[in-house]
Chains A and B, each alone.
Chain A
Amino acid sequence: MSAHLPILQVVVPLLAAPLCLFLKRGRVAWGLAVLASWAALAIALALLGQVMQEGVLSYAIGDWLPPIGIEYRVDIVNAWVLVIVSGIGAVVSPYAMTSVEREVEAERIPLFYAAYLLCLCGLLGITITGDVFNVFVFLEISSLSAYALIALGRHRRALTSAFRYLIMGSVGATFIVIGIGLLYVMTGSLNMADLAQLLPEVWDSRTVKVAYGFLTVGFCLKLALFPLHLWLPNAYTFAPSAVTAFMASTATKVAVYMLLRFFLTIFGAPFSFDVMALDRVLLPLALVAIASMSLVAIFQVNVKRLLAYSSVAQIGYMILGVSFATVTGLTATLLHLFNHALMKGALFMAMGCVMYRIGSVHISAMAGLGRRMPWTMAAFVAGGLSLVGVPLTVGFVSKWYLILGALERGWWPVAILVLLTSLLALVYIWRVVEAAYFRDFPGDEATREAPWTLLGPTWALVALNLYFGIDAGRTVGIARQAAEVLMAGISP
């Protein structure tokens, strides 16, 4: 049984998804989705434990040995990302019941859970596979279900944002497939470990460099790096709350993982940083993303859109860590993958609670809500403090390692910029806090606290924010180990 964990990781949600379609009642489909996502989390945790004890796991699908067959390869890097993705999936799925019943039409609820599980399956598949074409297949599984999930939003603009995401996402995926094709032309292999061995011989060829270029643009579209982020703000704003919480904490993180896996494991750090100068390409983009998107976030009136722009800025922090081209920088990136998933998950789930009670997430509509919905707004404040990077929250740990990485390279202006943009985060979080706590509540006297089915998962994430902010030893240890694996390249 434990030998087959890598394939079960993908197959459990993949098989549960069509079953949801046959279940006519929303609650039953929800139960199945919760079971499947919890099973996925249990498998991911078991895999992480196994990898930490025994090293790299290789699973040959259908006993077709790599490099001919498709290999699932789990090392500390993707075991870590698997835990992030399945963990968020496991927290959001119980939350989805109440939230989705309010925001999605009843007859579409089983379809919602089918798409949700497919999206989870796709994201887990991208992460676990050791075959580059398999990455593309899972990428499309997750993206297509994501378009459908976003289009389920109440507002009609959910449809146009899903359409825009579909166009930009498909272009990104096609660029990735062109890159993979060119790699195949040069090496005749699709297996990641095999490609890593074969590529150094053909480094000089222009085809490999062109493949690198196509892959860079494709990944940057998928991970919404400035200026390729245009699909993200509207998609996050108009999607149902549960979808936003799930997507914001997983989809872009998996795209960052893809970038790391392709550019550091397959091409190798020497090729990426010395030949292609990836660090010098990413650094200015990351800095502009952080500064400009934090500023744009300050002027938003819709809190979901505010958090979406903040997400683009936070992706900038992750890419900034990559551009340091050091183990400390990558540690910061991998830590922020986990930490940002925790904080943005909590923040978007708190917004889902607000949406459930007052039907709007405009700052003006949230006046005085701190007294009406104390637990919801307290969760928002805790998540917000984490986003700013206040000590004792996970945000502080990420910022600490980012600044450490910047100072290690001697880039003190970058370190100062990280500190200054944290203050910008404080400004946009404060605008919401100011409205919620320092203004009078004009609305309906009957407005009550959100139900515990929504608050429970939200506070579970808030608790994790605080726990891993205080006891960061374990997460930092894993992230550092993963960063060392990435920098060292694949072991022959």
Chain B
Amino acid sequence: MSLDLLVSHYNYWVVIFLMMVGFYILISRGNLIKKIVGLNVFQTSVFMLYISMGKVSGGTPPILLPGEEGVLYSNPLPHVLILTAIVVGIATTSVGLALAVRIKEAYGTIEEDEINAIDARTEAAE
């Protein structure tokens, strides 16, 4: 793999790095809030993937001005798509945080291993 490939595709390396960081946090952390943060980083990497792929080299922002025909524009569609995905991400985060609040009220903790231990104890008692 040449250095050239590394440099010219740097946006993909950023995306892959963020994705793996987010995924690792999601899997390895037991704290529910940290899990949500991990999920957020994971989703953000996909936003970056979409946004960077809409960029056309040398392209300007896609705004049509009078008298300027034939100008090279960046592709605005991936940006619009990801706007929707960002809204979805916010909704997911807020539902997740709301659940975390209610879990804290019901269990008194948001650590996954403690929650599992409480569940195991109540199940044994039943």
User: Which A residues, 280 to 316, have Cβ-Cβ distances below 8 Å to chain B?
Assistant: none
Minimum distance in angstroms from B50 CB to a CB of chain A: 5
B32 contact set on A, CB distance < 8 A: 163
Of the listed stretches A132-140, A446-454, A478-486, name the one at the interface; the rest are far from the partner chain: A132-140
Chain B: residues with Cβ within 8 Å of the partner, total of 28
B72 within 8 A of A: no
User: Which B residues, 7 to 51, have Cβ-Cβ distances below 8 Å to chain A?
Assistant: 23, 26, 32, 35, 39, 42-43, 46, 49-50
A157–B118 Cα gap in the complex (Å)?
A: 10
8 Å CB contact of B39 from A147, A167, A181, A190: A167
A144 within 8 A of B: yes
8 Å CB contact of A174 from B42, B99, B115: B42
A133–B35 Cα gap in the complex (Å)?
A: 26
- Mark contacts of A173-209 with chain B using CB atoms, 8 A cut-off: 1 yes-contact digit, 0 otherwise: 0100110010011000010000000000000000000
Q: Check B92–A144 contact: CB distance below 8 A.
A: yes
Identify whether the interface residues of A are mostly helix, strand, loop, or mixed: helix
Q: Check A163–B100 contact: CB distance below 8 A.
A: yes
A240–B85 Cα gap in the complex (Å)?
A: 29
B71 within 8 A of A: no
Q: Check A177–B119 contact: CB distance below 8 A.
A: no
8 Å CB contact of B102 from A133, A159, A171: A159
A171 contact set on B, CB distance < 8 A: 23, 26, 39, 42
A447–B67 Cα gap in the complex (Å)?
A: 82
A136–B85 Cα gap in the complex (Å)?
A: 9
User: Which A residues, 422 to 436, have Cβ-Cβ distances below 8 Å to chain B?
Assistant: none
B88 within 8 A of A: yes
User: Which A residues, 31 to 64, have Cβ-Cβ distances below 8 Å to chain B?
Assistant: none
Beyond known contacts A166-B92, A181-B78: 10 more, CB 8 A cutoff: A133-B81, A133-B84, A144-B91, A157-B119, A159-B99, A160-B115, A163-B100, A166-B96, A166-B99, A190-B81
Q: Check A148–B95 contact: CB distance below 8 A.
A: yes
A184 contact set on B, CB distance < 8 A: 53, 78
User: Which A residues, 334 to 378, have Cβ-Cβ distances below 8 Å to chain B?
Assistant: none
A256 within 8 A of B: no
